[in-house]
Structure 1
Amino acid sequence: MSDILRSAFNNISSNVWSSDHNNDSVHSDNPFVGQTIDLKANKLRVERVIAEGGFGFVFRVRDVKTSTVYALKRLIASDNESKKEIESEIQVLTRLQPHKHIMEFISWGKINQNIYLLLCEYCGCGSLQDIKLPVANQQQLNRIVYQTCLAIERMHSIGITHRDLKIENILFDNNGIVKLCDFGSATSDSYLPDLNWTPIQRSLLEDEMCRHTTPMYRPPEILDTYLHLPINTAIDIWAFGCLLYCLKFGRHPFEDSAKLRIINCNYTIPNNSSDSDLIVRIIKSCIKVDPNERMPATDIIGLLEENCVDLNAPCVNPRQTTPTQPTNPVIPSGVPNAPLPQIPGSAQPSFSFSGFTRYIKDTSNKVMQTVQNSIARQDLDMSFLTSRLIVMSYPAEGLESAYRNHIEDVKAFLES
């Protein structure tokens, strides 16, 4: 239970960022807005705040000479650990460049020893959060899946694990092309727990994974290290399967983040879905308990290229210059091959770089709802010795249930 709460509050305080464009006080009160700064070859004027959170801000900036718009992230390293994480993110971004489906990283610098500036491209066509789910347009769905998978393949080819792959971190650039972002949790480390691992080793690893992952997307191997499964890039494949499930069916396969359900891979495909459906086949190939059995990104790409066409085209319509159209894209429903939605030029992006999201209220509510659902199922005094063996005090009823596990709560948890 403590892991769930800790992860949820981490998402709210550091990984979930506000970009409330209607809040003019946020934009005008920040002393950084309006300043002109030199960042290596770029002379930038700070125009507005587009996201903010526990560690810093993201600003929309414009190059004074070329008028090119960028996103500038200003991060504060409050201690050695956060400094190490920021510098690790810079290294990962540098290694991944250039790639068509990974957010372009321009440059970085420091104001002083503790304040870092990261300059990257400005994605003007929003994110997957802006698209109505489930995605009814099959061609659009195929393109999103394919382009996201190309970004995953790039990471895995050089041994980098994203660790926080989710809908919020899939953006669309000004051309309507998928861009993967948020590499603040990325790592090149892998692990293989075995019988020689001590409880302390397991606890430290599980704590690290909880800090850098989102509950609904966590695979079995990081929830229970006693399964002795490898912890590596296959983490992303599981999360990718969960993401595809959301795009295909409009909900998450493990919405309650229940540990036993995830460990036992207990999810269902809707009855009206065909096993021959390509996306369903990919989902089933990704969401598997054993990481060694999950389909690698290269094979998923090959499968899509073999069965689909026109996969490199824009996933949403490119950003236009007319500011008169509605802000939010509308996805046609019920028409499998309807035209792609129009993305207006005035639309503001959902910038999710190192955990930034467009709607902090909506996302925070989703996180807290997940926590509440988890509390209802898991707020019990118990410990997992293995994935199938639990130790807890004897269930109680009446007044004793105030300080002991209530028998109905235990029953509901076990039946879930």
Structure 2
Amino acid sequence: MASIAEMFHPLQAYLHNSKRKFEEKWRRPLVERGKLDDFKILQTLGTGSFGRVMLVKPKKDNNSSYALKMLEKAHVVKTKQVKHTISEIKTMDAFEFPFLITLEYFFKNNVYLCLVMPFINGGEMFSHLRQQKKFSEELTRFYSAQVILAFEYIHYVGIVYRDLKPENILVDKDGYLKLTDYGFCKKIDDQRTYTLCGTPEYLAPEIILSQGYNKSVDWWALGILMFEMAAGYPPFYARDPMKIYEKIVSGKYIPANHFSKSLKDLIGNILQVDRTKRYGVMKDGANDVKRHVFFKDTLWSTILFKTAKPPINNYTDKTDDKGSIDALGEMIIKKSSKNLLLKNFRTLNTICQCLRVQASKNIRVK
């Protein structure tokens, strides 16, 4: 079993240094880097109401691959997501952690906001879980450890994530994870927030009951994720979302028969409706989870620095997969000689300043 000193002291120093870097990035103006003409678009990776994510390569560096997320400014304004979108960009730009997607380039043109991120070519955890039906406890442990470390970092810098689910976790070709999609991230520091957001099966009781919440909701979601990884289905499920909410608030669920005693115990301590008893939220914070017997053989520093050998690492390299073009169709890039919705995106730095100064106020950003 790893010593307490080995497990925690290196990480605390790492977190302290990482927070300083985060604060520096969070305070600085958001500067555009790059332009659309710098990249060669290869294929469509995915679509959504926001637009599309494209696989691209820099024209001057054919050895690097990136994911280009193109957001139509008109849609962002129509759905009143200007503030949230800029907050997501700002958060992605400030994050710097091994298990979090970061922003490599950012620019806008007359039609689009463009976010360029590293291309993670192992696919979504959701796809792997659906294919394998369920994960072994060894793989569940390995993946959970990375999410725990990511949450430690996210919470240490004052952010609440609020959208943990298999669809928002990418697996790289070596078998390590990257959390993505920061649309629900919010900088709250030690404050509470009341927004109802997230995926029904992963919502914490305090969100459903409109009680006001903070990082506690992320730890609850970790318990849901661990259960779903090891069982192949979430602990609280029904066709009707209202039935799901009733089950969540009751806190009653049935562990899968094949769960080990230690896994049952850890999930039970995380899925506590009473936040004062929930692992991850109490006095010792994440250490209550990390010191649990389920992780007794986990060397946390080897996870953090990616020197631990993943239980499985034969993930397919998606860069040569041409099927997504046929399935989704090639994207027609819209062009305009006029800078559309200029007043809404005239100065991103002004919006970012409002996000920092008015984070606790309900304001409309123009």
TM over 0.5, shorter chain: yes
SS in 2 for 1:125: coil
Decide whether aligned partners of structure 1 residues 109 and 192 sit closer, same or farther in structure 2, where only a CA change above 3 A counts.
closer
Which residue of 2 is the match for residue 72 of structure 1?
Answer: 68
Distance in 2 between residues matched to 1:155 and 1:60, nearest whole Å: 27
Q: How far 1:274 moved relative to its partner? A: 4.0
- Asked whether the 8 Å contact 1:125–1:347 carries over to 2, the reply is no
1:298 has 2:289 as partner: no
Which residue of 1 is the match for residue 215 of structure 2?
Answer: 233
Query: TM-score with structure 1 length normalisation?
Result: 0.59
Equivalent position amino acid for 2:58 in 1: D
Q: Which runs of 5+ in 2 are unaligned?
A: 1-32, 322-326, 329-366
Equivalent position amino acid for 1:255 in 2: Y
Q: How does 1:196-235 map to 2 (within 5 A)?
A: 205=194, 208-209=195-196, 212-225=197-210, 228=211, 230-235=212-217
Distance in 1 between residues matched to 2:175 and 2:313, nearest whole Å: 10
Select 1:103's aligned residue among 94, 101, 104. Answer: 101
SS in 2 for 1:222: helix
1:135 has 2:129 as partner: no
Q: How far 1:307 moved relative to its partner? A: 3.0
Q: How does 1:14-413 map to 2 (within 5 A)?
A: 39=34, 43-67=38-62, 68-77=64-73, 78=75, 79=77, 81-96=80-95, 98-112=96-110, 115-131=112-128, 132-136=132-136, 138-189=137-188, 205=194, 208-209=195-196, 212-225=197-210, 228=211, 230-256=212-238, 257=241, 258=243, 259-275=245-261, 277=262, 279-296=263-280, 298-299=286-287, 300-303=289-292, 306-309=296-299, 311=303, 312-313=306-307, 340=312, 342-346=314-318
- Asked whether the 8 Å contact 1:219–1:262 carries over to 2, the reply is yes
Decide whether aligned partners of structure 1 residues 245 and 102 sit closer, same or farther in structure 2, where only a CA change above 3 A counts.
same
Q: How far 1:44 moved relative to its partner? A: 1.0
- Asked whether the 8 Å contact 2:53–2:68 carries over to 1, the reply is yes
Once superposed, which parts of structure 1, at least 4 consecutive aligned residues long, lie more than 6 Å away? none
Single out whichever of 125-134 and 101-110 deviates more from structure 2: 125-134
- Asked whether the 8 Å contact 1:76–1:115 carries over to 2, the reply is yes
Which residue of 2 is the match for residue 21 of structure 1?
Answer: none
Distance in 1 between residues matched to 2:186 and 2:144, nearest whole Å: 23
Q: How far 1:348 moved relative to its partner? A: 7.1
Note the aligned Cα RMSD (angstroms).
Answer: 2.8
CA deviations over 1:2-23 (Å, ceiling 9, x no partner)? xxxxxxxxxxxxxxxxxxxxxx
CA deviations over 1:232-262 (Å, ceiling 9, x no partner)? 1111111111010001111110111422211
Decide whether aligned partners of structure 1 residues 58 and 213 sit closer, same or farther in structure 2, where only a CA change above 3 A counts.
same
Which residue of 1 is the match for residue 358 of structure 2?
Answer: none
Distance in 1 between residues matched to 2:149 and 2:37, nearest whole Å: 30
Q: How far 1:340 moved relative to its partner? A: 2.2
SS in 2 for 1:52: strand
Q: How far 1:341 moved relative to its partner? A: 5.4
Distance in 1 between residues matched to 2:177 and 2:308, nearest whole Å: 8
Decide whether aligned partners of structure 1 residues 305 and 215 sit closer, same or farther in structure 2, where only a CA change above 3 A counts.
closer
Decide whether aligned partners of structure 1 residues 176 and 347 sit closer, same or farther in structure 2, where only a CA change above 3 A counts.
farther
Distance in 2 between residues matched to 1:348 and 1:308, nearest whole Å: 35
- Asked whether the 8 Å contact 1:177–1:315 carries over to 2, the reply is no
- Asked whether the 8 Å contact 1:191–1:232 carries over to 2, the reply is yes
- Asked whether the 8 Å contact 1:140–1:315 carries over to 2, the reply is no
SS in 2 for 1:101: coil
SS in 2 for 1:57: strand
Distance in 1 between residues matched to 2:318 and 2:270, nearest whole Å: 37
Distance in 2 between residues matched to 1:174 and 1:270, nearest whole Å: 30
SS in 2 for 1:39: coil
- Asked whether the 8 Å contact 1:143–1:315 carries over to 2, the reply is no
What percentage of aligned pairs have identical amino acids? 24
Q: How far 1:89 moved relative to its partner? A: 0.2
For these two proteins, the number of residue pairs brought into alignment is 269
SS in 1 for 2:187: coil
Distance in 1 between residues matched to 2:209 and 2:55, nearest whole Å: 42
Q: How far 1:273 moved relative to its partner? A: 3.4
Q: How far 1:272 moved relative to its partner? A: 4.5
Equivalent position amino acid for 1:241 in 2: G
Decide whether aligned partners of structure 1 residues 286 and 42 sit closer, same or farther in structure 2, where only a CA change above 3 A counts.
farther
Query: TM-score with structure 2 length normalisation?
Result: 0.66
- Asked whether the 8 Å contact 1:101–1:178 carries over to 2, the reply is yes
- Asked whether the 8 Å contact 1:176–1:314 carries over to 2, the reply is no
Distance in 2 between residues matched to 1:169 and 1:45, nearest whole Å: 26
